[in-house]
Amino acid sequence: MKDFDSSLVHSSWLPVLEPLRNDINAVLSHIDVKTVSPGEEDIFRAFLQPLPEIRCVIIGQDPYPTLGHAHGLAFSTNSSVKTLPKSLQNIFIELASDIGNPAPRSGDLSAWSAQGVMLLNRVLTTEIGSANAHATIGWQKITDAVARELGSRDVVAILWGRHAQELAAHFTYRIESSHPSPLSSYRGFFGSKPFSRANHILTSQGKSTIYW
């Protein structure tokens, strides 16, 4: 895969990502653009969001491996996806239980992103049809640096699952629970009230709340 294209991210991210260019290029060298999920053009989509506008970050594990599902925002899907991934269905169940908001009309969570919620996976890519295929090619070093920067800005972190919680030390303001996947959702995700808790923290910081 070609070298990191800085035009794919918002300019405010360049001071964070440019020092990691060699590391990013090393990761990209392992990726086959014909079989990568999300598609090549969406790998860095979460970084199109201006860094100063980010108030909350939700950190997941890695992208959906199903063809056509992932589009560069953690847990989000393309709006054309009709049968939502189980993890996202569980997120919407908890959303309704927590604050009573109806499930969004599609699995596209861009409306959250537009309000300053970064949707970041610990590992930014996988292979179509194979979860965790890129877990060992080096993405963690990049997302560790990203989390460190977000934490320094007092961003509220919602950390779902063990892989996300590896970054907990970077955040003063954090909400942790098990992952919303069917395998772990009943082990502490349901009932964790991440959305109302995040808004409570934002209010305590003098920031506006998020309409989830």
Amino acid in position 20: L
Q: How many angstroms separate the Cα of 182 from the Cα of each of 9, 50, 120, 170?
A: 33, 33, 20, 28
Closest CA to 167 of 74, 70, 87, 72: 74
Positions annotated as catalytic residues are: 62
With beta carbons less than 8 A apart as the criterion, state whether 36 and 127 touch.
yes
Q: For the CA atoms of the chain, what is the radius of gyration?
A: 16
Q: Is 96 exposed, middle or buried (0-12, 13-18, 19+ CB in 10 A)?
A: exposed
